[in-house]
Amino acid sequence: MAKIISYNLNGIRSAMSKGFIEWLKSSNPDIVCLQETKAQPEQIDISLFKELGYSVYFHSAQKKGYSGVGILTKINPDNITIGCGIKKYDDEGRVIRADYGDISVMSVYMPSGSSGEERQAFKMEWLEDFQNYIDTLKKTKKNLIICGDYNICHKSIDIHNPIGNAKSSGFLPEERAWIDGFINSGFIDSFRHFNQDPHQYSWWSYRANSREKNLGWRIDYNLVSETLKEKLRRAVILAEAKHSDHCPILLELDID
């Protein structure tokens, strides 16, 4: 049984100052996919992770204090791939992949379009390019676990105010259509595989006591290739962990 956690930390150094290391020790996942690390590798005290038994891999953005992804793993990977091979995305530190035999685990931080039209256009370009990248990757890596912050709510059940947010980046019809198509291209939304309840979110605005009121969005996903369906055992949102404006999401599955 492998225990995989995906977590947008909104700054790894900030999260570490809020007890992230202690939480990691007690929750003890095998693999941790991190997003929005907002740090260069030399700015992170990796010895704290190594003391817990993790090998540490980061892909930072060229711009300091921005974006960035990472993988912490207690299982030795056969291979680590940094980036997706497209410079404008790799410069922003958005993709890192670890291969374990015939299974690959990816940490992905998809762009946000909330800052304006230019970044929304960038996000839509990314979505098309990422679909093409994964379609190609699936030819050689058939068993994918794509963990991360997708910055999109899939369905109305995944957002606290679907009517009021109908024109908000992250819930636009074209974004929702993309994630629908992406899942239908051969993936399982592991959380919804086990849980169809409403009011299940992974991100809350810092404004207006949104988290206390549970006025959130579910934008973090562990999407799993359909080929791994029989190996899925559990998927939950760990909303009690508070080191970020996101919370971690957990996936447990049987892998050799």
CATH number of residue 122's parent domain: 3.60.10.10
pLDDT at 130: 98
pLDDT at 255: 84
0.95 cut: is pTM over it? yes
pLDDT at 111: 98
Q: Give, in order, the Cα–Cα distances in Å from 149 to each of 31, 75, 87, 123, 170.
A: 16, 23, 20, 13, 11
CA separation for the pair 211, 47 (Å, rounded):
32
First vs last Cα of the chain: how many Å apart? 8
pLDDT at 192: 98
Catalytic site residue from 30, 90, 149, 245: 149
Give the three-state DSSP class for 125. Answer: helix
Residue 115, Cβ density class (10 Å: 0-12 exposed, 13-18 middle, ≥19 buried): exposed
CA angle 35, 157, 208 (to 5 degrees): 65
CA separation for the pair 114, 172 (Å, rounded):
11
For every one of its 256 residues, what pLDDT tens digit does the chain have, with 9 covering 90 and above?
999 999 999 999 999 999 999 999 999 999 999 999 999 999 999 999 999 999 999 999 999 999 999 999 999 999 999 999 999 999 999 999 999 999 999 999 999 999 999 999 999 999 999 999 999 999 999 999 999 999 999 999 999 999 999 999 999 999 999 999 999 999 999 999 999 999 999 999 999 999 999 999 999 999 999 999 999 999 999 999 999 999 999 999 998 6
- Whether 245 sits among the annotated catalytic residues: the reply is no
Those residues whose C-beta lies under 8 Å from the C-beta of residue 127, and which sit 6 or more positions away, are: 110, 175, 178
- Residue 183 structural domain: 2-253
What's the total number of domains in the chain?
1
